[in-house]
Amino acid sequence: MIKLLGIKQEAVGVEDGGLIDWDGLPAEEVLRRAGERFGEKAVFACSFGAEDMVVLDILHRVAPETSILLLDTGLLFPETYRLLEEAKKRYPCLEFKKTSPLPPGEAQGLWEFDPDLCCRIRKVEPLRQALREARAWITGIRREQSPARKNARKLEWDHRFGLFKVNPLADWSWAEVWEYIGRHGTPYNPLHDRGYPSIGCVPCTRPVREGEDLRAGRWAGRPKTECGLHG
């Protein structure tokens, strides 16, 4: 069932008489189109990992009206908070926002016995609230990151949050991410240089060992592989 773009329905929409398909477009063009179509109603949920710093760097050039949102769980690494401050200085044209972390002590230790609930309280529900007035949210996810992300499209309908989801780096490799960072001098989290390819909350993130996949350091020793934002 095909519906018109801009109406929140469980379909991606119609563009120029055909089904919208941005998968063949380069990341910069995807973000430029997202800026044109959604404007201030687009929110970039930025984790300040390597992929997200690439998206941030492109957004400031092609769609600076996009809101940048950090899901502040209250448990992020100090390096992540410092990178946020660095990004504010480097990209003054972008509007940076944070969700409010839980008060100290509230849900303390929840990650130990119910990490899914911890993620839902600290990330999923705050994002749901932040997206209430949005028409689209932008992510830095890539297909090669995990089986749950292997079918990600560059523009898709997000059933969980009821709006469009834009994944401009869906077809990028890890090597392409770092090639971009090196070529543009894009700032990045120094934890990447210490064996952390994927960076989340302090209690649930460890360095990746040689031979492990890029997300092996997240919720290590548990079957959990996603925080709930992407599946």
Active-site annotation, residues: 227
The arrangement of strands across the sheet holding 136-138 comes to 95-98, 67-70, 42-45, 136-138, 163-166, 155-158
User: Residue 94 and residue 87: Cα distance in Å, rounded?
Assistant: 9
Sign of CA dihedral 44, 48, 52, 57: positive
Q: What is the DSSP string of 9-52?
A: SSS--EETTEE---TTS-HHHHHHHHHHHHGGGEEEE---SHHH
User: Residue 187 and residue 53: Cα distance in Å, rounded?
Assistant: 7
